[in-house]
Amino acid sequence: MYFMKMLVTGAKYEFVRQAENCRSTGSDFVAAVLEAVDRQLPLAPQSKKMVESWRGDPAAAAVAMRVNGALHALARRGKPQYLADLYSGEHDDFDGAIAEALAQEDQFIADWMRYPTQTNEVARGGAVMSALMAVAAERPLPFQILELGSSCGLNLNLARYAYQLGTVAAGDTASPVRIAPAWRGANPPVADVSIASAQGVDLSPLSALDPSHRERLLSFTWADQPARSQRLEAALQIAVAHPPRVHRGDAKLWLAQRLAERQDDGVCRAVVHTMFIQYLSDRERQDIAKMMAAAGAGSTADRPLVEIGLEWTPDRREVQLRCTRWPDGDTTILATCHPYGDWVEWRGFPERTPA
């Protein structure tokens, strides 16, 4: 009895905790959905069992957001209609709509939960582009991008998007994808970013060419933030015309293979990841860090290596944009950021002391 009570308490806590996070980052609607799920989950016995028996950290696996994505997907399909009406703003009976959806679509929700969240938020590309500009300002070399956890690979097309970073315009100014985070602090350095090549890896990559994959990505946007959905749809259209190169596989093994390949002279190799590290085990994080350090030890001024990561701190207090540059191996917190890229508080690299 005590064991079962602890399981239920843990499950309920995860939905409430994630609801608080959503509300603090600007989505009252998703917060209300998750709070209703917390109250009504017993109506979906299969989904409830999956939540309560989840192996590993449910927060790291984004279990609550998997359920939220399933409900948004159902609403986008118009079933149940009362749920679709909730999402379209026809009423605010969260408990009634969520209860009906959980009871009628338990199998769909349980099946949906088996797959990880796939946000592929292109607004995070504003932080990544800022980091690339900062690196290029000191080392004006074209980049070989290697992205870990690419999902659909939309951020591999970051050079095809338009950016307003503080008062600095960057990227393709004619692009239908416009990324303009609220900017705090000084502007990033003004520098041209040239992408020589870009490829990524994901355990379960999605394809913009597949309508069901596009729908899956759109379901993980927040229903009360239509600008995000519009930006995603525009990025997906670009990806259809310019398919990103995303490999299916384990990130650690794939990265080891890429780092072992000879790096061209006059090219900066950039390992990039956004909201990826949280899904790894401690051992996997350590292995990748050792791998990067070993590769960095062999880099040169003409064949430099950088790692750019937009990730939560271990205590999940803030999201930091970090950049490590080799051959020196120095790590700098370039900025703190909104989890989905809505704002950036820029710090930049420390000024170098003249020799």
Report d(CA 20, CA 16) in Å as an integer: 6
To 10 degrees, the CA torsion angle through 301, 334, 254, 244? -100
319-326, strands of its sheet edge to edge: 182-184, 343-346, 330-337, 319-326, 305-312, 268-274, 143-148, 195-202, 246-248
Q: Domain check: are 59 and 201 in the same one?
A: no
Residues 180-193: what's their mean pLDDT?
96
Q: What is the DSSP code string of 123-150?
A: GGHHHHHHHHHHHHHHS---EEEEEES-
Mean pLDDT along residues 152-169: 97
Displacement of CA 23 from its chain's centroid (Å): 18
Is 60 exceeded by the pLDDT of residue 354?
no
Element (H, E) at 238: helix 226-241
In the chain, % of residues over pLDDT 90: 82
Residues 335 and 201 in one domain: yes
Greater confidence (21 vs 266) lies with 266
How sure is the predictor about 2, in pLDDT bands with cuts at 50, 70 and 90? very low
Are 201 and 101 within one domain? no
Of 44-58, 63-77, 84-98, the least confident: 44-58
Residue 228 forms part of a structural domain = no
Q: Is the pLDDT higher at 118 or at 79? A: 79
pLDDT for 235: 97
Same domain, 132 and 273: yes
Q: Which of 19-28, 245-254, 289-298, 335-344 has the lowest mean pLDDT?
A: 19-28
User: Do 143 and 192 share a structural domain?
Assistant: yes
- Checking if the pLDDT of 149 tops 70, the result is yes
The answer as to whether 105 is a domain residue is yes
Residue 27 covered by a domain: yes
- The predicted-structure confidence for 119-134, as pLDDT tens digits, reads as follows 889 999 999 999 999 9
Q: Which domain holds residue 6?
A: 2-113
* pTM of the model as a whole: 0.84
65 & 131 share domain: no
Per-residue pLDDT at 12: 55
Torsion over CA: 222, 225, 228, 234 (sign):
positive
pLDDT at 143 over 70: yes
The pLDDT of 313-330, averaged and rounded, is: 93
Q: Kindly tell me if the per-residue pLDDT of 165 is higher than 50.
A: yes
Spatial distance between the Cα atoms of 251 and 309, rounded to a whole number of angstroms: 14
Judge whether 229 lies within some domain: no
Per-residue pLDDT band for 76 (boundaries 50, 70, 90) equals very high
Is 325 part of any domain?
yes
- Name the domain boundary from 113, 143, 171: 113
Retrieve residue 124's tokens.
């995070």
Residue 16 above 90 pLDDT?
yes
Statement to judge: residues 97 and 165 lie in one domain: no
- Residue 331 token pair: 């790590």
CA distance 332 to 127: 14
| CA dihedral sign of residues 224, 225, 227, 229 | negative
In this prediction, residue 49 carries a pLDDT of: 94
Nearest in space to 169 (alpha carbons), one of 136, 138, 133:
133
Q: Do the domain assignments include residue 218?
A: no
Q: Which residues of 270-297 are buried (b: 16+ CB within 10 A; e: fewer)?
A: bbbbbbbbbbbeeeeeeebeebbeebbe
Total domain count for the chain?
2
Is the same domain home to 97 and 128?
A: no
Residue at 235 is within a domain: no
Last residue of a domain, one of 85, 113, 141: 113
Question: Based on the domain organization, do 200 and 257 belong to the same domain?
Answer: yes
- Same domain membership, residue 7 and residue 133: no
Q: Which of 66, 83, 113 is the last residue of a domain?
A: 113
ω into residue 80 within 30 of 0, thus cis? yes
Higher-confidence position of 152 and 59: 152
Does residue 148 lie within any of the structural domains?
Answer: yes
Mean pLDDT value across residues 200-205? 94
State CA 93 to chain mean position distance: 30
pLDDT at position 278 is 85
Same domain, 175 and 295: yes
Same domain for 26 and 78? Answer: yes
**Mean pLDDT along residues 198-220:** 94
Instruction: Judge whether residue 82 has pLDDT over 80.
Output: yes
Contacts of 88 (CB under 8 A, 6+ apart): 75
Query: Tell me, what's the pLDDT at 191?
Result: 96
Mean pLDDT of the 264-280 span: 94
Q: Which of 319, 354, 331, 307 is nearest to 147 (CA)?
A: 307
